[in-house]
Structure 1
């Protein structure tokens, strides 16, 4: 049984507050993937860019984007992940979704609201850490600003893959680079971060730097800065087992749970 995971990282520009056009552009990108893939990762708020106007782009969990994701997951026979603006009742969420070919959907609501941009004023923060299994891998999905908070990502569940999707601006990209690598090393896990490129509607610039790291912090990809492209990386499950058993660093971790 093959336990490796082949992952496509979609580093792309986004059309400001235009879900229809973003789905069209991303549809073409997904169709261009000719090799067999297990998992496809899109950026944060891939239908809109990082907007503080949720009422203009929000959808429900049976809206057009979720329907589209289901169709593409089935067509590509791959799970697809990314975050979008979802409305439930009177609440808006920056919600990461993972749609599998079987139709199963896993969701995670971004816990750490980016207060510098006022995200906490318009979006409801999540409260639950999510770990789900896919093709024998335990995966922890997180969103952008969550990256700055290592306690939330702490690997007390023995997960295998930590995934961040983001709209992380160029002006603070050095922090993105450093923290992604750190999360991989301290948790002895594969860590992938998928960021956007281009300018958003507020003229913030994004330079990408999407990256994949192994359990020792070795970078596995070679995406260039500012490049609108797709890169594929292969994650080997045996690497996790090898180094966790050899080094035993996670055996010495602090065990805890978060309240509230």
Structure 2
């Protein structure tokens, strides 16, 4: 990035997951993060990165959510980077698919998945959230969401002039065309960088995940995509966002509405 251009370097970790084994997954992601040889501003992990997309949250010990949150804070501090990802989190006898955005200084933001995946019964096992999260970080406004939220453009709509959409996901192979198409659409319609981090491999109940972790620029151009186990590094530019929105002020003509949950 040029000296007068604000930028972010973001690491996207695409990997298989150990089924319902938070200890093994935390150890695996610790190793993955250690492999990142350059300074990055954000590390993004998949949805339910400590368990896989389980609909049996009671198979996980209640304290695992807190242990994972503590681990994320430790990683953010040690590597001086923000960490983003969702995990099974139990609170007041309710289960949540909760995404955390942890800044390097330990400042913590949380988002509970709004659109629980009814096809898998997630709405029965997990309590849905009702509030969207926007995080200010290093000159960027970031909206982190979770998997199925991608299918709902109103929930993803850029009403706050944010710069980046991030989706942490476990998105299966039969619907991967929708994943690719919707990530690109969310980038174009919101004039943002749109990042989707998926897992790979086959889980214990037979669902296959083909990856397609990717990043699209504010015009819908594909910057990076992966179909294998790897860590992608993407660089994004605030100047590109601001320049595009000045040249093409489409967001000024957006429909006015309020999100009420």
TM-score (norm 2): 0.96
Judge conservation of contact 1:16–1:200 (CA < 8 Å) in 2.
yes
Question: Hey, what does 2:253 align to over in structure 1?
Answer: 252
1:63 and 2:66 matched? yes
Q: Which of 163, 174, 178 is the equivalent residue of 2:177?
A: 174
C-alpha distance in 1, partners of 2:131/2:55?
23
Deviations 1:190-249 (A, max 9, x none): 1000000001111100000011011100011142x2x11101000011000000000101
- Which SS does the other structure have where 1:221 is aligned? strand
C-alpha distance in 1, partners of 2:30/2:128?
29
Deviations 1:89-132 (A, max 9, x none): 01100001011110001100000010000000010000001111
Q: 1:5 to 1:58 in 2, by over 3 A?
A: farther
Q: CA deviation at 1:259?
A: 2.3
Q: Which of 191, 198, 201 is the equivalent residue of 2:194?
A: 191
Q: CA deviation at 1:63?
A: 2.0
Judge conservation of contact 1:198–1:207 (CA < 8 Å) in 2.
yes
Equivalenced residues, count: 258
Question: Hey, what does 1:228 align to over in structure 2?
Answer: 229
Judge conservation of contact 1:131–1:159 (CA < 8 Å) in 2.
yes
1:16 and 2:28 matched? no
Q: CA deviation at 1:62?
A: 7.1
Deviations 1:108-158 (A, max 9, x none): 000001000000001000000111101111000100000000000110100
The gaps in structure 2 that reach 5 residues or longer are: none
C-alpha distance in 2, partners of 1:15/1:65?
15
C-alpha distance in 2, partners of 1:71/1:48?
19
- Which SS does the other structure have where 2:201 is aligned? strand
Q: CA deviation at 1:253?
A: 0.4
- Which SS does the other structure have where 2:222 is aligned? coil
C-alpha distance in 1, partners of 2:106/2:259?
31
Q: CA deviation at 1:83?
A: 0.2
C-alpha distance in 1, partners of 2:217/2:190?
10
Judge conservation of contact 2:5–2:239 (CA < 8 Å) in 1.
no
Between 36-45 and 56-65, report the one with greater CA deviation. 56-65
